[in-house]
Amino acid sequence: MITDLKDRITRRDYTVGVIGLGYVGLPVLLRFWQVGFRVMGFDVDAGKVKRLTVGESYIRHIAHETVQPLVGSGRFTATTDFSRLAEADAVLICVPTPLDAHRDPDLQYVVQTADAIAGTLREGQLICLESTTYPGTTEELLLPRFQARGLTIGKDVFLAFSPEREDPGNSASSLAVISKVLGGVTPACGELAEALYATVVGRVVRVSSPKVAEMTKLLENIYRAVNIALVNELKILADRMEIDIWEVIEAAATKPFGFQAFTPGPGLGGHCIPIDPFYLTWKARAYGLSTRFIELAGEINQAMPAWVVQKVMEALNSCGKPLKGARILVLGVAYKPDIDDQRESPALEILTRLHQQGALVNYSDPHVPRCYGHRHYPALDLVSLPLTADTLRAQDAVILVTNHAAFDLDLIRDHAPLVVDTRNAFKGVPSSKVVKA
């Protein structure tokens, strides 16, 4: 069977289904379509399905022009009908894996998706989980559900894990050029999954098991979380010592070996770094271990929005103004520059904390016309203000949280009475005008 399936992949006589059409799933679907496969997109959000069906993108950094060719190609379907999963030869799972209120893994979307696939599973299908999760998920949650169908994994159906490495808004790190780590439940599973992914990426890195692939993705993000926490902690110390941490980092980065520069900020955001490390801390407890580095890094990074608010308060006090009643404009509510993704953005907590302390808060973000509080900040609902000289002059302080390329730094410097800069964007501007945080 596997020889026939690989031959069909080579001939593009093969249908790739993608479950979850968000920041990860939509680029995956587009890439497989671009290289000639039939593609099916599955999502519970009827709005997304409707927009894709008429050739519209709902993700700002993915242009309508990229999506429009899908329509009328004869190789594309988008649907909310999960009973059609049997029509796909390969099913790639790209659903969210958030944390619950206790910062434990919330795998409800993975479980619901696995149940839906199990209900239609047929011989010859390849199932690959791409959602970031703890080591063991593929074999502990998906494998038993598929085996219960009476099908042999590695012979009748095939199961693998290959973590997404999507970097929204970074055109230099598209799916086509990033190596794909992959672990199959059996060698045959890995062989078939490798044959499929090799058609859309430059290099597939086969590892010995799904657990290794799951752990690989966590290591990548934990490495970043721990190092960001380190420079965030040093930022606070340097501030007390009246040392510019950014100058220190620049100097250290001149060393040609043994050092990689990480930069501090107002806190972590996005779908990976603030969340993924805690999947491992949760799993580690089942083995009687405490991942202290990860937990400490989390504490430090989660404390950054509060530290930024404290710096705003101190900056206003130095001007003879209290935080209560102050007009404050947050610049950027997306979690990284030049995208519209607000997930886990530190700006949301900064806005909420400022409001709770009596400040009159607004924001400006050219990529996010309306700022919802999402799961953690349900009361937050603001509309972006235009970034004009009048808007800036009307504030008591502005806080640069996300350094979008569209922001006119000269305009901000010239008209904002006080700037709290969390990104070192105003390097060289006198401290009487700009406060680093």
Cβ count within 10 A of residue 375: 12
- What does the domain layout of the chain look like in residue ranges? 2-207, 303-436
For the structural domain made of 2-207, what CATH number should be given?
3.40.50.720
Confidence (pLDDT) at 166: 84
The mean-pLDDT minimum among 172-176, 309-313, 387-391, 433-437 falls in: 172-176
| Residue 350 backbone dihedrals phi, psi, to 5 degrees | -60, -45
Identify the pLDDT of residue 268.
92
Q: Which of 190, 243, 237 is nearest to 213 (CA)?
A: 190
Domain 303-436 in this protein, CATH class: alpha beta
371 catalytic per annotation: no
Q: Per-residue pLDDT tens for 269-300?
A: 988 899 999 999 999 999 999 999 999 999 99
Q: According to the model, what pLDDT value does residue 431 have?
A: 67
pLDDT digits (tens, 9 = 90+) for 200-228: 999 999 999 999 999 999 999 999 999 99
pLDDT at 337 over 80: yes
Beta bridge mates, 38: 15
For residue 171, what pLDDT band results from cuts at 50, 70 and 90?
A: confident
In this prediction, residues 243-264 reach a mean pLDDT of: 96
Q: What is the pTM of this model?
A: 0.93
Confidence of residue 378 (pLDDT cuts 50, 70, 90): confident
Strands ordered across the beta sheet of 327-331: 360-364, 327-331, 397-400, 419-421, 434-436
How far is Cα 415 from Cα 411, in angstroms, rounded to an integer?
Answer: 6
Q: Give yes or no for residue 169 having a pLDDT over 90.
A: no
Query: Do residues 189 and 153 lie in contact, with contact meaning Cβ atoms separated by under 8 Å?
Result: yes
Average pLDDT of span 153-181:
90
* Residues 156, 186 contacting (CB under 8 angstroms): no
**Is 428 a residue whose pLDDT tops 90?**
no
Q: What is the pLDDT of residues 37-77, one digit of tens each?
A: 999 999 999 999 999 999 999 998 899 999 999 998 999 99
pLDDT at residue 433 in the model: 87
Residue 102: band (very low, low, confident or very high) from pLDDT cuts 50, 70, 90: confident
What is the C-alpha separation between 177 and 167, in angstroms, rounded? 12
Give the active site residue among 94, 128, 189, 272. 272
Indicate if the pLDDT at residue 11 is higher than 70.
Answer: yes
Q: What is the rounded distance in angstroms from the CA atom of residue 269 to the CA atom of residue 344?
A: 5
C-alpha–C-alpha distance, residues 103 and 126, integer Å: 32
Average pLDDT over residues 366-376: 85
Instruction: State pLDDT tens for residues 384-413.
Output: 999 999 999 999 999 999 999 999 999 999
Per residue in 122-157, pLDDT (tens digit) is 999 999 999 999 999 999 999 999 999 999 999 999
Please give the average per-residue pLDDT across 99-120, as a whole number: 95
